[in-house]
Structure 1
Amino acid sequence: MRDIERAKKLLEAEGFSCVFTQGDTIYTSRKTGVAPLVEFLSSGINLNGFSAADKIIGKAAALLFVLAGVREVYASVMSEPAVTVLRQNKICHSYGILTPSIENRTGTGQCPMEQAVARIDDPTQALTAIRATMEHLANGRKEDL
């Protein structure tokens, strides 16, 4: 089974929110939003060349996948800006549903992580903006995380 197929199967069958696979190596998370990606990047785990499956990939997550060096991603839901980022960085991608944008958890507006990277195209700058937004939300509106 190809890495991306295994990642997708684990995502759907095991209830993970994010799965990385490469050969016999598998990393998973059940945390929501971009938190798993930020944690993996912060931990120093080398994800270069991995395949990844995620429940939702917006532009913020796409930029983090670029930073991680993944070669292929699948999302149950992917935004159009995420597709643009992945295409520009030559990362193979597929999705179940394509949407114009990613909304916040309450459905009242755009996801705060998407707002944080709206004018950012550099993955390293995106990580800095995402971390700052996560910290801000942790100190205030946790429901948007």
Structure 2
Amino acid sequence: MTDAQLHELLKDNGYTLAVLKGDQVVFHSQERGLKPLYQLYRQQPELLRDSVIADKVTGKAAAVLAVLGGAKEVYSDLISEHAFQVLESGGVKTRYGGKAPYIINRTKTGMCPMETLVMDAASPEEGAARLIEFFEGLKEKQNGTEKNERH
């Protein structure tokens, strides 16, 4: 698919993320943030292998997951310079609508917390380990909160 077609796929369907094998969408999400790509990486990694990822916004954390997941190509409406570098060094063909020095957080007060988390990671593997630790800690916190609310 062309850049324009991938952009339209995201826009026309309200997707924030779509994963394609050939021209077939094998996964899509309308949820903001890194969580959908992270869950796919952890639960259905085979869908990422040799895929094309179309992402509305791609920061370094998403790039780490794309590289380790074995994606062959990433298209992003907006990509950070750090994400671009990770993808290029990981051998992932990268196309984008716009590039920024970094991804801004939702309140527009600084850098995206996920990009901040992996910013100084020396390798994609180190970045992924940090993401796993973060999301597992979040899950434990939520499970602990749910248990406390039941009593």
- TM-score, normalised relative to structure 2: 0.81
Gaps of 5+ in 2: 143-151
RMSD value, Cα:
2.2
2:9 corresponds in structure 1 to 10
Q: Is the 8 A contact 1:3 1:21 kept in 2?
A: no
1:39 corresponds in structure 2 to 39
1:133 corresponds in structure 2 to 134
Gaps of 5+ in 1: 141-145
2:99 corresponds in structure 1 to 98
CA offsets, 1:29-69, max 9 Å, x none? 11211111111011134121110110110111111100111
Aligned pair in 2 of structure 1 residues 70, 136: CA closer, same or farther (>3 Å)?
Answer: same
Q: Percent identity?
A: 33
Alignment of 1:1-145 (within 5 A): 2=1, 7-23=6-22, 24-46=24-46, 47-134=48-135
- Answer with 1 or 2: which has the greater Rg: 2
CA offsets, 1:61-107, max 9 Å, x none? 11110011111111111011111111111211111111001111111
- Residue type of the alignment partner of 1:61: A
Aligned residues: 139
Indicate the SS of the match to 2:131.
helix
Indicate the SS of the match to 1:106.
coil
CA shift for structure 1 position 16: 0.7
- TM-score, normalised relative to structure 1: 0.84
